[in-house]
Amino acid sequence: MASRGPDSLKWKVELHNHLDGSIRAETIIELARNKGAELPFDNVRQLKELVSCENVDVKDRSLRRFLEPFPVFLSVVRGDAAALRRCAIEFCEDQANEGVLYTEVRYAPQLLSSEASNTIQNTDQLTDEGALQVILEGLAEGSRRYGITVRSLLCCIRPFPELSAKTAELCKKFHGKGVVGIDLAGDEGNYPIKPDDEFVKAFQEVKKFGIHRTAHAGEAGPAESIRQSLDWLSAERIGHGYHLVEDEKLFNRVKNEKIHLELCPTSSLLTGSCHSFTGHPAKRFIDQGLNFSLNCDCSLSCNVGVADEYDLVYNDWGYDIPILTRAAFNAARSCFLPEEEKKQLIADLERIHGLRC
């Protein structure tokens, strides 16, 4: 197949995108003004400067620094049913514009409810479950409106292990109703997991019900964090995983077991996980045939969409269209849809691209 640039890859599959990190900057500004919120930004430019790590010295970048602004800008949507629904619908529109056929979007309902800290006063009084329902309704409406499919992954958050049991409960209650899996997110470097953690109990609980599992690991933490996620959390996919290159035995295990790696190249630099694209671990993953996909992580915080990540790998890293196509099909095969829906997604990709992978 001739290399014609990423535009020839018409439709993609994205597995690693955070709803709370992908809210439109314009929406946040509008909501803040409507609510009279006193926040450290007055316009889109100032907001993007607040959330971006692009101007932070490379040696000072970290996952903790990357996550610091989230409570500030999320304060205008937490506990607000209309705002959350709007954000979900707009997310679908943005994904359609990025050429994404299927997306798994992740978030922690507890951190978007009225009960979350740093919430601007509103009258909705949304519970964790209420916030989840509103988001699922918005994603369903947006999917219908823009002709794509979006499913949800519910996040356990490392600094808040006490929320894990409720996350598992919500996963079970809404499994098959828009929710397809569970995730572990948050500051990996400062909150490593232990065998008796509430996260581990939550993951093992949902596993009993056939609910799929992914985990952020090997991003701000060492390769051992990946091993722990596979062994203790029974993770089927790994978010990021760049530090896998530190452990050759584990590298071979991930390769041989075809464990999927959700790669987010741009964010890997902004979080300090990697310091340069020169010798980037993702290049080794690609070159050695690991099961990988390309994802944007957070379109607001990273100031990119998934199409930009495909452009990066093609234009800057020098990989050809078959590699980009492989990324899309890897994602489709590794997604958490029920088997029949997954087969249909793969068939749709084959039809759209006029090939069989």
Question: How would you write the chain as a 3-class SS string?
Answer: CCCCCHHHCCCEEEEEEECCCCCCHHHHHHHHHHCCCCCCCCCHHHHHHHHCCCCCCHHHCCHHHHHCCHHHHHCCCCCCHHHHHHHHHHHHHHHHHCCEEEEEEEECHHHHCCCCCCCCCCCCCCCHHHHHHHHHHHHHHHHHHHCCEEEEEEEEECCCHHHHHHHHHHHHHHECCCEEEEEEECCCCCCCCCCCCHHHHHHHHHHCCCCEEEEEECCCCCHHHHHHHHHCCCCCEEEECHHHHHCHHHHHHHHHCCCEEEECHHHHHHCCCCCCCCCCHHHHHHHCCCCEEECCECHHHHCCCHHHHHHHHHHHCCCCHHHHHHHHHHHHHHCCCCHHHHHHHHHHHHHHHCCCC
Q: Is 219 a catalytic residue?
A: yes
**pLDDT above 70 coverage of the chain, percent:** 94
* Residue 1 falls inside a structural domain: no
Range of the domain at 33: 11-352
Catalytic residue from among 188, 205, 219, 309: 219
pLDDT digit string, tens, across residues 255-306: 999 999 999 999 999 998 899 999 999 999 999 999 999 999 999 999 999 9
Examine residue 296 and state whether it is found in any structural domain, yes or no.
Answer: yes
Give domain status of residue 4, yes or no: no
Residue 241: inside a domain = yes
Q: What CATH number should be reported for the domain holding residue 62?
A: 3.20.20.140
- Using the predicted structure, report yes or no on whether residue 128 has a pLDDT greater than 80: yes
On whether residue 255 sits in a domain, the answer given is yes
Is the residue at 213 inside a domain? yes
Tell me the per-residue pLDDT of 222-266, one tens digit each, with 9 for 90 and over. 999 999 999 999 999 999 999 999 999 999 999 999 999 999 999
Q: Is 215 among the domain residues?
A: yes
Residue 35 lies in a domain: yes
Number of domains present in the structure of the chain: 1
Residue 81 reports pLDDT greater than 50: yes
According to the model, what pLDDT value does residue 356 have? Answer: 61
